[in-house]
Structure 1
């Protein structure tokens, strides 16, 4: 496709500032001011193992690198750089706000913040999965797609987990399996639907969901057979769906090229 308009000026530097803000925000709870994220959320039967949350370190690093690259190159590697950048900025700001409201233990605000983040990140995924900006360097397109894929997938898993934690804190029994299994299945179906749409380009999206469900599997193994079954089934379905959409996309591209 043809090259698109560049992005420059305050909007690009705002992305850097907000990327830094989401990195700095965890200092608040970890310095003893308020509750840490694991203390402020309800422990559920479908909560991923603690090691899965290390993915935030990768998200923070990629956010900073992409934000600085946008300042340098004036592009996001996509056909709609301004909108994608605004989506990312809202997500960066949301991540910082989420940490603060989590520290304040505002149970029902945290899932609302994550819902906003998930919406804008899925919009960013839609943009990143479209034909890229030919004038942008290839490495920038790859970086953007990796960041958006990981961040959107983690937000997908996190938004369902946060709503479940809020429900478990105030409305339902956190040790009751039925309603939590329903939430987990809804998360799986939603993630599979998004994978079917963008997974052939944003491979990081299904891979990150696999990571999240591996964490759920690790927690449930030997404890809750139904959760183990759903987690394994979802992982298999994600791998199969990604493979199918990748093959379909390649065949479609080959047909267009030969035509």
Structure 2
């Protein structure tokens, strides 16, 4: 995947270290898979409401990891569309925990995993679209590329900030994953305008999170689950 990404690198491709977030996401998903299968957990509303969307999101990711190296250059639209489907599934799981009050492992597993996954794939979707554009012939450098890169970062900042301000639960992992990706884009060392825009986008999300936490009577449940 790294080789394909390098061939279609856009101005908003994050630094390589950013992808280590998958270690936390995968570890959380495996722990959740074991936890929800325990006899005491079967039939619980939390697992019933999040199980299928998260299963679809992770299955889609497994398929994406096969497709992207194979056709990421020749047919870049297909992996990009699949990634948006993953975003939709993760968003459904995250939305379904908004009106549930969780504690203990419920916070650390389906709730936090859904937030981390959605936050990261939101950034990844923007990056994948930009990479697909380069693969289809768009310039990876120049004024037009910088304009589109800034537009993508602004769009991510606006969308994520709106969701953070509207969230009722699990917003901490979500905002953390988005901020992680945006800062990694800045660290990658692109044009100054892109670096500044990525940092500004991350700061916008952080401010939205701070405002939402202040307005919330119980910030712990908002931030964690």
Larger relative contact order (C-alpha < 8 A, sep ≥ 6)? 2
Report matched runs for 1:75-224 at 5 Å.
79-105=45-71, 106-132=75-101, 138-175=104-141, 176-198=145-167, 201-220=170-189, 223-224=190-191
RMSD: 2.1
Taking structure 1 as the reference length, the TM-score comes to: 0.75
Taking structure 2 as the reference length, the TM-score comes to: 0.86
Change (3 A) 1:183 1:84: same
Structure 2 residues without counterparts, runs of 5 or longer: 220-225
Cα distance, 1:93 vs structure 2: 0.5
Cα distance, 1:74 vs structure 2: 2.4
Cα distance, 1:51 vs structure 2: 0.2
Distance in 1, matches of 2:43 and 2:130, equals 34
Structure 1 residues without counterparts, runs of 5 or longer: 1-36, 253-259
Cα distance, 1:155 vs structure 2: 0.9
Cα distance, 1:189 vs structure 2: 1.5
Change (3 A) 1:96 1:201: closer
Q: Give the 4+ runs in structure 1 shifted more than 3 A.
A: none
Distance in 1, matches of 2:202 and 2:168, equals 14
Partner of 1:240: 207
Cα distance, 1:187 vs structure 2: 1.7
What is the aligned length?
210
Q: Residue 175 of structure 2 contacts residue 206 of structure 2 at CA under 8 Å; is this kept in 1?
A: yes
Partner of 2:31: 65
